[in-house]
Chain A
Amino acid sequence: MRYEFIDPIVSSTLRIMTGSIPGTERRGEAAMLRADQITGDVRVTIGISGDSQGDLIITMTSSTAREICSVILQRKMSALEAEALDALAELGNVIAGNSVSALNDLGFDFSMVPPRVSTAGTTETYSPETEVMQIPLASRCGDIDMHVLLSAD
């Protein structure tokens, strides 16, 4: 993974999350994981391609997802209905779009595909050697992790 990709993604993620959920901040240091170590009931996955290929994966617990959606949709969510999952997908879209823009403004060439949301019981499969950088965040709705999976070349 080229580490110059990380800062624009992290900065964009924090900026968008802070705009949606004020007070969101980093919680601790970034960590390198294996893909099978990614946890979280709810995942928002956005495919990235161009100067590197991979995914941005935002994970959180179901309760955090409900709290975030309650803030975004301005009504209490007792369950993750279709409307809530759509709002989470759009949040992922805005984070990824701003990340791609920040990278491209630095002279890189990236594009993205529409986000997809998965809940407990669905899994993505990655090859074991896939490097994952986990950036942990804390918000008043709960903890959120941004994972950057980008190929080494």
Chain B
Amino acid sequence: MEKLPAGSEAARFRCLVADDSAFARRNIATVVEKAGGNIVGEAANGQEAVDLYAKLRPDLVVMDITMPKLDGVEALRRIMDHDRNAKVVIVSAIGHKEMVWKAICLGAKSFVTKPYSPDYAQLIIHDVVTGGNGA
């Protein structure tokens, strides 16, 4: 497969962002774009995230936990049930040990606690997309 030049549109990873706050989604989008990604879908709740994942099959999902209709933990569970290879990074203000452990056990590749340093989040996202564990 021909390797595309770095930075070309086709080389950028496709990302779905899920957060009930449009402000938070914009912040995440800025980080994702700096990490080399394009936002291909936005979800305002967990159900939209599950539906959009099935439709778009993004390379990465960045998702909050506290969302209406369906929370991020249950959305993560359903996305992983649908696709065991899904790459999901949780970005949430609820960052206590048990929650982080629960998300990782369900299949999340990494967990970023709000408030986050954009540079740190960018490193985590890049690491997950390129095949690291984002640890």
Contact = CB atoms under 8 A, between A and B. Distances in A.
Contact of A93 (B22, B66, B96): B66
B24 interface: yes
A97 B97 contact: no
How many chain A residues sit at the interface, stated as a range, is 20 to 34
Interface stretch (A52-60, A100-108, A129-137, A145-153): A100-108
B135 to A, nearest CB: 20
Nearest to A102: B96
A94 B114 contact: yes
A98 interface: yes
B24 A90 contact: yes
A104 B99 CA distance: 9
Given A86-B21, A97-B92, A112 B115 contact: no
Contacts of B114: 93-94, 97-98
Contact of B94 (A83, A89, A90, A101): A101
A101 B23 contact: no
Given A83-B22, A112-B66, A19 B115 contact: yes
A99 to B, nearest CB: 9
B40 interface: no
Given A89-B21, A94-B115, A104 B98 contact: yes
Nearest to A96: B93
A7 B97 CA distance: 19
B62 to A, nearest CB: 15
A81 B115 CA distance: 23
Nearest to B95: A101
B96 A101 contact: yes
Interface in A69-124: 72-73, 83, 86-87, 89-90, 93-98, 100-102, 104-105, 111-114
Interface of A: 16, 19-20, 72-73, 83, 86-87, 89-90, 93-98, 100-102, 104-105, 111-114
7 contacts: A89-B21, A90-B21, A93-B93, A100-B96, A104-B98, A105-B97, A112-B94
